[in-house]
Amino acid sequence: MTALLDTLEGTLGGWGTTLLVGFVALAGLITVNAMFMVWFERKVAGWVQGRLGPMEHGPQGTLQTLLDVVKLLGKESIIPAQVDRKVFLLAPVVAFLPALAMLSLLPYDNNLTMTDVESGLLLVFAFGGVSLMGIFMGAWSSNNKFALLGGMRAVSQNIAYELPLLLSAMAVVLCAGSLNLGEIVAAQTGENGLWFIVMQPVALGIYLIAATAETNRAPFDIPEAESELVAGFHTEYTGMGFAVFFLAEYTYMFIVCGIGATLFLGGGDGPLLPGPVWFILKVYFLLFLMVMARWTYPRLRFDQLMNLAWKFLIPLSLINLLATAAVLKFVEVGS
Amino acid sequence: MSTESATLKAYAAHPRTPEYAPLRFGTLTPALEQAPEDGTYYLNMGPQHPSMHGVLRLLLRLDGEKVVECEPVIGYSHRAHEKMAERGIFAQFLPNPSRMDYLGGMIYNVGYCQAVERAFSIEVPERAVVLRTLCCELNRISSHLLWFGTFLLDLGAFTPFLLAFQDREKILDILDSASGSRLTYCYANFGGLALDVPEDFAERTRQYIKEQRAAFHTYHELVTGNVIFRQRCEGVGIITQDTILSYGMTGPNARASGIAYDVRKAEPYGFYPEVEFDVPTRDEGDCLARYFVRFEEMEQSLRIVEQCLDRLPEGPVGPKKPLVRVKPKPGEYYHCVESPRGQFGMFIVADKDPEPWRIKARTPSFSNLSAMAEMLEGTMVADTIAILGSIDIVMPEIDR
Amino acid sequence: MSQDSTNSAVPVPGRSVRPTGFGGAVRFMVRSMLTLFVGLKVTLKKLMGRKVTEQYPHEKPVMSGAFRSAIALVSFDDLNGTHDCIACDACELICPSYCITVRGDRLPDSKKKRATEFLVDFSTCSLCGLCLAVCPTETLKYSSGYDDAGYNRGWIHNLLEPYADDPEAPELLALLTARDEAKRAARKAARAAKEAPAAKPAPEAETTPANPAPEGSDG
Ligand code: SF4
Ligand code: SF4
């Protein structure tokens, strides 16, 4: 392993090696995560509903997703006659690519971050905005009214929920005093470090709700509400295009839960097990919550969704932010 | 020769009562040719759409997400059941009624048999009467359970759907053990039932009743109290009593608007006069009221089933050799029963021939759907689905 | 809290009250959150709970005794296990789905008819039971198979297939005649028993079908 790395470093240089290794690791992470999540989601759905979920391929159906991927790859990609071809084909890529950048920003452990940026948190959310473009491009270019409705819903929903998402994260940033994800984790570990879930339970609640909405997951899955809009923004996508959108959805789930674990659950902090394992465990715990929510609740209506964001979540997160700031100031003055 | 027949002319000249609501079928389709100029647009929902309950097509004129106008387009699963009836003898129509409304198959099957029995004075043994009532009520519960599941599915919750299906499965098993079919029953025949129920029938049914009562508790925890569900249903899709009356809506939809009309009470048939049950009503007329009415109806049905089990007499369940050729008496006969969706009526015109001269089915969903156009105006797209789900239509029953 | 809508076993008549004032709004919010947790509790319980899935091709369900599958011919013990279709066409004529085709021929040196071809197109059968009801010899029944499938539009069951090694005509004729004789004797015995003062029930005579009326046989 080290020998291999050395050879690589010799030919590519330090920076090139980091890039290559990072890229391979990320690609692996994305695929494994998506495959696991699809299987996991099906299993949980099945168990919740008194079923068994996939059972046929591999023990407990673990190979099911792999075969599904093969099936999707083998499918014909149908491009409807009236779509805006270039945008239509580009859209899944635009929706998916930011995920790579976002993943590289996550702190998997104290000093295991692929790109350590000073304002990492802001950058993650900024890239999230780009992926929205992909969704909207797909919706608009599809030349389908269901897709268009889905796209419009997606945009207004994401804009509405970006605010509480950021505001709840800001409360944590105030506590940690840094936008750097690594430093936020560091603030929660160490001698008298305390996970921010203790200090910021309200922010965690807001974050989870907003994150579910940001990733268009049930009960906030109105952009693709299948009982209303057939499949929403990806109605016209088949085969690979659909698969990429699907992949993007699961990757974003991983990312928001990763950020959630970083902000509130102390990232890779934990006893006995190594940091990355703790990080992954925490992420999948949050993902499990998201999956459970999907299989428990009915879907909100569009206006109710907006009301929830603008009338409840944003004021609440503002109050939370102000209160945090005030308390911090008092503590600072007091000490 | 004028193309208009005398009947048509007479019909056109007939004064309509002022409160008679015009049916809204076919109002929007001609306008499809050109796009509206006021910024609205047409959206074609169905016939292939995940929540159109089969093959309904809703043509919506939308302003953003608001429904401006709506036209239900029907007929995609028309199978000419009524014409089929004229083709054979009365008995040969036996398999058809349960295919009209496949969710209330037992009730339709029994309803048709009762219509023929009443028309031509055919005796039914007491045990068969009680068993028919029992099976009809089980069927009503299974239909309401399926409605509950699909309604929640329309609202975006998947789990209640499958939980409801698991409970429905128990009913299907029980009915299967009696009738041999699971969905489209041909259990009743003229003068009784095709065969007697198995030994363990009563025991199984009692067990099921116990489990179902516990399951209701789970449903209420999971769904009824849920704030999202409440928000989606409360005050949505209000049907006024005027609308109900002018469109001839019946069944749980009418009862949710405060009209306590139930064929089982209004024109009792079968064993219903002998059993005790209530007709639950609500006054609000919205989706939540319809939800509650159906739930209370399921509980009443469980009550009826219990009473039927308690008072199940011994004896034959029908004539020794099933009656296939009935002797028709010329005349016009109407018999209606309470299907899970409202009043299902069989209008039979018979002459001396062994074949019916005409059979007309009055199916409740048709009337219920007719009011859709009125109810949908001014709602959101998401509400459209919720309202459609709460009305509980079965398309093959409308198209026949 | 005016109404706890989440913990009652009967449909909750209550409707949520629109919140008024700030306190009302807060209470409404808290109560709403609680309902969400109650829902989550149910699904978590289900997550651990019993699973009802039947792993179909690996586990086969048991069909109820009444289960209706494609019709089949009954094999009678007193006929050495063969059927008793007299090709009277009654089932073919009554079938509302036109799915039965019966052809028959007279047995040599006899007036008795016997089916030579019995085809049922199960893809159109509506399982109405009329054919069973009209069969004069009660030689039709529902089979109980459930996992067969048709591979094209017509899904023809040949009901005579299990009876390919039927006894030869003379033997068959002897069997039929013997059975008719036995039946007649049983009927006579029953009549005698009825006429006798101590009337004894004769169950065999009641359950076995009456001798088929021959009028259908020259169709
Ligand atoms: S069950 Fe009915 S449809 Fe099927 S073969 Fe017999 S008569 Fe025909
Ligand atoms: S009715 Fe019975 S005896 Fe007659 S042809 Fe059909 S199966 Fe054979």
For the segment B21-35, the average pLDDT, to the nearest whole number, is 59
**In the predicted structure, residue A199 carries a pLDDT above the cut 80:** no
Q: Which fold has domain B81-398?
A: Cytochrome-c3 Hydrogenase; chain B (1.10.645)
Is the pLDDT confidence value at B8 over 50? no
Tell me if C198 is assigned to some domain: no
Number of domains in chain C: 1
Among protein residues, the one with the nearest Cα to ligand 2's atom 1 is: C135
Q: What is the pLDDT of residues A33-89, one digit of tens each?
A: 888 888 888 888 888 888 888 888 878 888 888 888 888 888 888 888 888 888 888
SS (H, E, C) chain A: CHHHHHHHHHHHHHHHHHHHHHHHHHHHHHHHHHHHHHHHHHHHHHHHCCCCCCCCCCHHHCCHHHHHHHHHHHCCCCCCCCCCHHHHHHHHHHHHHHHHHHHHHCCCCCCCCCCCCCCHHHHHHHHHHHHHHHHHHHHHHCCCHHHHHHHHHHHHHHHHHHHHHHHHHHHHHHHHCCCCHHHHHHHHCCCCCCCHHHHCHHHHHHHHHHHHHHCCCCCCCHHHCHHHHCCHHHCCCCHHHHHHHHHHHHHHHHHHHHHHHHHHCCCCCCCCCCHHHHHHHHHHHHHHHHHHHHCCCCCCCHHHHHHHHHHHHHHHHHHHHHHHHHHHHHHHHHC
What is the reported pTM? Answer: 0.84
What pLDDT was estimated at residue C11?
Answer: 39
pLDDT tens-digit map of C165-192: 777 777 778 888 888 888 889 888 888 8
Does C38 reside within a domain? no
Ligand 1 pocket, C44 CB below 6 A? no
Q: Residue with the nearest Cα to atom 8 of ligand 1?
A: C95
Q: How far apart are CA A195 and CA A187, in angstroms?
A: 8
Which H helix or E strand runs over C187? helix C169-195
Is there a domain that residue C65 lies in? no
Q: Cα–chain-centroid distance for residue B254?
A: 13
Contacts of A46 in chain C (CB under 8 A): 51, 53
* Domain contains C110: yes
Beta bridge partners, B41, equal B62
Question: Which residues on A lie below 8 Å from B381 (Cβ)?
Answer: 149, 228-229, 302
As a whole number of angstroms, the distance between CA B247 and CA B374 comes to 10
Contact B154 A49 (CB under 8 A): no
Q: Could you tell me which residues are beta bridge partners of residue B360?
A: B347
Q: What is the pLDDT of residue B141?
A: 92
Domain range summary for chain B, segments of one domain joined by +: 22-73, 81-398
Ligand 1 pocket test: pick from C73, C93, C95 the residue with the most ligand atoms within 8 Å of its Cβ. Answer: C95
Substitution target in C53, C55, C56, C59 with the highest count of A β-carbons within 10 Å is: C53
Angle at B149 between CA B148 and CA B151, to 5 degrees: 65
- pLDDT at position B306 over 80: yes
**Any A CB within 8 A of B184 CB:** no
Residue C133 maps to which CATH number? 3.30.70.3270
Residue nearest to atom 4 of ligand 2 (CA): C88
Nearest to B217 by CA among C13, C45, C8: C8
Report yes or no: B359 and B82 within 8 Å, Cβ to Cβ.
Answer: yes
Q: Which atom of ligand 1 is nearest to the CA of C142?
A: 1
What CA–CA distances, in Å, run from C219 to B131, B234, C92, C140, C210? 39, 66, 12, 19, 20
Q: Which residues of B331-369 are buried (b: 16+ CB within 10 A; e: fewer)?
A: eebebbbbbbbbbbbbbbbbeeebbbeebebbbbbbbbb
Q: Where residue B11 falls among pLDDT bands split at 50, 70, 90?
A: very low
The pLDDT of residue C213 is: 42
Cα–Cα distance between A102 and A31 in angstroms, integer? 15
At residue B221, does pLDDT exceed 70? yes
Q: For residue range B86-102, what is the model confidence (pLDDT) as tens digits?
A: 888 888 888 888 888 88
pLDDT, tens digit, for every residue of B328-357?
A: 888 888 888 999 988 898 898 888 888 888
Which pLDDT does position B142 carry in this prediction?
Answer: 92
Q: Which atom of ligand 1 is nearest to the CA of C126?
A: 3
Question: Which one has a higher pLDDT value, B385 or A228?
Answer: B385
Ligand 1 mean position, distance from CA C13 (Å): 48
Instruction: Single out the residue of A117, A138, A131 nearest to residue A251, CA to CA.
Output: A131
Range of the domain at C136: 71-170
The verdict on residue C20 lying in a domain is no
How far, in Å, CA of B34 to CA of C72, rounded?
Answer: 59
How confident is the model at residue B193, as a pLDDT?
A: 87
CB proximity list for C201: less than 8 A, separation 6 or greater: C193
ipTM: 0.81
Residue C98 CA: which ligand 1 atom is closest?
8
Q: How far is CA B60 from CA B44, B63, B379, in A?
A: 6, 10, 11
Ranges B167-176, C105-114, C150-159, most confident: B167-176
Q: In what order do the strands lie in the sheet with B66-73?
A: B41-45, B57-63, B66-73
Between the alpha carbon of residue B70 and those of residues A216, B23, B60, C94, the distances in Å are 29, 12, 4, 45
Q: What is Dmax (Cα atoms) for chain C?
A: 101
